């Protein structure tokens, strides 16, 4: 039988966690209380801290230390490994806590596949929750009052969260009548024309899922790749690599393209929007960049044109990632520009910078019969590039 895991630090939140478990159980859903407290307290919960700590890669002793921060970090890793080991038994997971409890529980939630219900009641849920949610489908609920006892506010908030979790677990999501194989695509505003055309062309054979390449968008796409959801990926917009290399706000981190290597999923990639690094409003652009070629995309987003030197570094990063891929890989280089504003008479048109990018990729990718880099004499949004991408997709899926 699969159960809802109610997770938290029972040394400080036992009353609240037991209340959540009780509401879930009263709704007819089995619940298990998992204690991840780090104070060495005696625990009578269904799963004790010692049982969780045993899953730490360095053993349970790694969690037993006097430094609270280190202990919480170690327990978070142990809980993540514990949840991974018991994923088949978990119908859903719900936690409650402050900033420490939230940082402890949410990494384990992120380890579960998209679609498994996840709910975190937290004192920090009304602030920036990106570090906790990441690319996962965690529902964050603000606790309003501190998670400290049962009162007229916490009773309602925790009860609502518990009932929401019970409802998600007890009620199946209807299956689509015409579910087709899924393909992932990455898009940015300046590659919209390309990706919209690709999605339209593919819609009669596939279910195209489009991800906005804003850091978490790329992470979400790759999480689903790791989950085995896609039959292929059209990664047309790798702009997040530019932000990672240069220091923009939309980096997807060091692991971008990593899921492609891990899974071997058929892959068609390109360098969409790597002509730009993303910052917030114009007055947030770092001082060292104020004299660069800047373009105000909207009041909240400012774009900075990448240089030839930066493009060389971006190309080398992409090449390293592609070399780790043993599946079918086709990578397309649009000689007419990598975005809508990297075209003749457009503000980011810079053939020298583009050529540095292309040359770095060609020089560093170890091309094989499965891993091929091809130049396309077109802008990335031109119809000729659309057709080249579709042909490359057919190629990787038929080999």
* Whether 393 contacts 270, CB under 8 Å: no
Q: For the chain, 399 residues long, give each residue's pLDDT as a single digit of tens.
A: 799 999 999 999 999 999 999 999 999 999 999 999 998 899 999 999 999 999 999 999 989 887 888 999 999 999 999 999 999 999 999 999 999 999 999 999 999 998 999 999 999 999 889 899 988 999 999 999 888 889 999 999 999 999 999 999 999 888 776 679 999 999 999 999 999 999 999 999 999 999 999 999 999 999 999 989 999 999 999 999 999 999 999 999 999 999 999 999 999 999 999 999 999 999 999 999 999 999 998 888 999 999 999 999 999 999 999 999 999 999 999 999 999 999 999 999 999 999 999 999 999 999 999 999 999 999 999 999 999 999 999 999 998
Predicted structure pTM score: 0.80
* 3-170 topology per CATH: Rossmann fold (3.40.50)
C-alpha 261/C-alpha 365 separation (Å) is 14
Structure tokens at 64: 């037993």
Would strands 118-122 and 90-97 be described as parallel, antiparallel, or unpaired?
A: parallel
Domain boundaries for CATH 3.40.50.12030 within the chain: 182-398
**Cα–Cα distance between 3 and 5 in angstroms, integer?**
6
Separation of alpha carbons 377 and 384, rounded Å: 8
Is residue 16 within 8 A of residue 147, CB to CB? The reply is yes
CA distances to 260, 274, 338, 359, 383 from 311, in Å: 22, 8, 12, 10, 25
In the chain, CATH 3.40.50.12020 sits at 3-170
Domain 182-398 matching CATH 3.30.70.2700: the answer reads no
């Amino acid at each position: 039988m699969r159960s809802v895991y109610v997770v938290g630090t029972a040394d400080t939140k036992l009353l609240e966690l037991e209340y959540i478990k009780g509401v879930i159980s009263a709704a007819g859903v089995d619940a298990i209380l998992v204690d991840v407290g780090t104070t060495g307290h005696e625990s009578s919960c269904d799963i004790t801290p010692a049982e969780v700590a045993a899953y730490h890669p360095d053993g349970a002793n790694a969690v037993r230390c006097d430094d609270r921060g280190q202990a919480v970090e170690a327990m978070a890793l142990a809980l993540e490994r514990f949840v991974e080991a018991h994923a088949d038994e978990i119908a859903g997971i719900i936690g409650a806590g402050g900033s420490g409890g939230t940082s402890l529980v949410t990494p384990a939630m992120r380890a579960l596949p998209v679609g498994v219900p996840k709910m975190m009641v937290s004192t920090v849920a009304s602030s920036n929750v990106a570090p906790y949610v990441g690319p996962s489908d965690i529902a964050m609920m603000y606790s309003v009052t501190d998670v400290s006892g049962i009162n007229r506010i916490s009773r309602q908030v925790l009860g609502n969260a518990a009932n929401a979790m019970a409802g998600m677990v007890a009620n199946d999501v209807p299956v689509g009548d015409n579910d087709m194989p899924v393909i992932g695509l990455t898009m940015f505003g300046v590659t919209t024309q390309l990706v919209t055309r690709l999605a339209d062309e593919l819609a009669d054979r596939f279910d195209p899922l489009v991800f906005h390449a804003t850091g978490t968008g790329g992470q979400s796409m790759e999480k689903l790749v790791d989950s085995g959801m896609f039959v292929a990926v059209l990664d047309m917009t790798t702009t997040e690599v530019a932000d990672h290399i240069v220091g923009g706000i939309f980096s997807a981190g060091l692991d971008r393209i990593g899921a492609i290597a891990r899974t071997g999923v058929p892959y068609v990639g390109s360098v969409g929007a790597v002509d730009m690094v993303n910052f917030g409003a114009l007055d947030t652009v770092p001082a060292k960049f104020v004299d660069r070629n800047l373009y105000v995309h909207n009041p909240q987003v400012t774009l900075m044109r990448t240089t030839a030197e930066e493009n060389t570094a971006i190309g080398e990063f992409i090449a390293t990632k592609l070399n780790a891929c043993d599946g079918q890989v086709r990578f397309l280089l649009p000689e007419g520009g990598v975005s809508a504003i990297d075209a003749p008479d457009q503000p980011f048109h810079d053939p020298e910078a583009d050529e540095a990018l292309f040359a770095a990729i060609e020089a560093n990718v170890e091309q094989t019969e499965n891993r091929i880099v091809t130049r396309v004499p077109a802008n990335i949004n031109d119809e000729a590039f659309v057709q080249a991408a579709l042909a490359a997709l057919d190629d990787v899926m038929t080999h």
